[in-house]
Amino acid sequence: MAGNSTLFRMWVLLTLAARAGHVLGQPDQLDVVSMALKVSCVNRRMVDSLDKFLQPRPRRFHIVAPKGCDRFERYSSKVRCYLEDALVPNLTSAVVRGWLHDRFSQRPAADLQRVLDRSTWFYQQFLKLAVAQYIPDLAQHFLIFDSDMIALHPLTWFLPLNADPARITGAALVSPPLNVSATSGQPLPPLYPAAGAAATRAIAAGNTTAVTAAASNCTNPHPFLTLIHVGGWKPHAGYQHTYQLLTGRPIIPSPSDGSSLVTHHILVYKPYMAQFLGNITGPQHAGKHLGWAMSVLDAVAALREMGEVNVGFSEYWSYLSWVQDNYPCTVAFARRREWTRTPATAPAPLPISVTPARQRKLIEHIPICCPTASNLEATAGAGWLFTGYELGHHHHCNYHHPVFEQGYADWFLD
């Protein structure tokens, strides 16, 4: 009977909170962080789309790039830009290349060159993990979002504590709300029921934000859950082995389809990121600046197959697995993949082109590919919440043409 009484009191508190609008909690501030090579029509659209669709609306966009900060900051008054090699002390692409060389110099020359060619890839991952500490006045919760992804519908990463497990989604406008039963119309119990004396005290005190302890003794400090998207590409090995070497735990895939959590973004909570980086730092690097990054590369260097080294670490999947391992009551997995890497129609040259100013008679017209309203509407019509728009893989888009060295059609916004 005592258990039934506790559950009833919990239901009453959640009902009152739902009617007062408190269960659908959100952080006071949310920022967006993105890494970009140069200004482009795609990353300009990324900023515009998230500013339009993301809930809560982003306070600020922080873009980390090797050049062009003055042009990035023209996108919006919300944009702050940082030069990548100056953001984190002693973290540059050249430094990471040197770390890799030290660890792989005894491998065959061809293997060494392969891993050195991946130095920028590892460097970009380390930057994403370091920004929580080094970007000034960064919000406690921030979304790292790939600069070639574009939001298509209202979306959120914050869910009510009593979200319906069968309907977990990143869509921001859901009817009925996620915390209401689709059959009875009544508020649902919390996704992670409270247990034990601490939960009883929290209920008695009327503290609905504390009624979130999982069976593992997890405590959620927030009045919301955070969403983990699923559906990422899953290599045979590499990501998985490195995570296990760093944490002693198996990496965690999507519970619905076994896919990876490499979904071109992560939502970060700064205190958890600090704990994660401390946890993966090996004793050989304890107390060192960027010891966690060196520990990651030590783990990558322990992989024998170069195919694994090539996909030797995932900052996204590793952080999210660690959070799920250590704070399972704070997160909820999407029920299915809600994003796509490719738009409805592949990037194609537009009926406009760029003509470089050259002192010669032959005029060269260089086609460009940029996201158009019609293409994005068609992709949104398929139900995806956000889509990729990758130009670098399409030779006909001329993304790497010398004329676009400083920027790619950032003036285009259809």
**pLDDT at position 353:** 80
Mean pLDDT is lowest, of 190-199, 322-331, 342-351, for 190-199
Check whether 107 has a pLDDT greater than 80: yes
pLDDT at 354: 82
Contacts 24+ apart (CB under 8 A), 11-20: 11/187, 11/189, 13/203, 13/206, 13/208, 13/211, 14/161, 14/162, 14/179, 14/187, 14/188, 14/189, 14/190, 14/208, 14/211, 15/186, 15/187, 17/208, 18/160, 18/162, 18/179, 18/180, 18/187
The yes-or-no verdict on residue 195 having pLDDT over 80 is no
Position 278 pLDDT exceeds 60: yes
Q: Give how far the C-alpha of residue 104 lies from the chain's centroid of Cα atoms, to the nearest Å.
A: 29
Q: Between 195 and 55, name the one with better pLDDT.
A: 55
Instruction: Give the count of alpha carbons within 13 A of 92, CB side only.
Output: 9
pLDDT of 196: 36
Is residue 263 very low, low, confident or very high in pLDDT (cuts 50, 70, 90)? Answer: very high
Does the structure show a pLDDT above 50 at 292?
yes
Q: Quick one: pLDDT at residue 23?
A: 37
**Structure tokens, 136:** 């000034």
Query: What's the burial of 74, exposed, middle or buried (CB within 10 Å: 0-12/13-18/19+)?
Result: middle
What confidence tens digit (pLDDT) does each residue in 112-139 have? 999 999 999 999 999 999 999 999 999 9
- What pLDDT, on a 0 to 100 scale, did the predictor assign at position 12? 46
What mean pLDDT comes out for the span 159-178? 94
Bridge partners (DSSP) of residue 60 are: 31
Average pLDDT for 60-67:
99
pTM: 0.88
Which tens digits make up the pLDDT trace of 73-89?
999 999 999 999 999 99
State the Cα–Cα distance between residues 355 and 129, nearest whole angstrom. Answer: 40
pLDDT at 191 over 70: yes
Mean pLDDT of 32-43: 99
% of the chain residues with pLDDT over 90: 79
Give the C-alpha separation, 193 to 245, whole Å.
33
Reported confidence tier of residue 259, pLDDT bands at 50, 70, 90: very high
Q: How confident is the model at residue 14 (pLDDT cuts 50, 70, 90)?
A: very low
pLDDT at 363: 59
To the nearest whole number, what is the mean pLDDT of the chain?
Answer: 89
Backbone angles phi, psi at 80, to 5 degrees: -120, 135
Token pair belonging to 264: 């071109």
3-state class percentages of the chain: helix first, strand second, coil last, to nearest 5:
40, 15, 45
Average pLDDT of the segment spanning 401-407: 95
Confidence of residue 6 (pLDDT cuts 50, 70, 90): very low
Question: Taking 60 as the threshold, does the pLDDT of residue 216 lie above it?
Answer: no
pLDDT at 1 over 70: no
No. of helices (H) and no. of strands (E), the chain = 14, 17
The confidence score (pLDDT) of residue 193 equals 62
Residue 358's pLDDT is what? 60
End-to-end Cα, the chain, rounded Å: 63
- Residue 15, pLDDT > 70, answer no
pLDDT attached to residue 79:
99
In this prediction, residue 365 carries a pLDDT of 85
Which DSSP state fits 186? Answer: S
Residues 384 and 340: beta-carbon distance below 8 Å: yes
DSSP for residue 395 = G
d(CA 143, CA 124): 16
At 330 the three-state DSSP class reads: helix
Kind of pairing, strands 353-354 and 366-367?
antiparallel
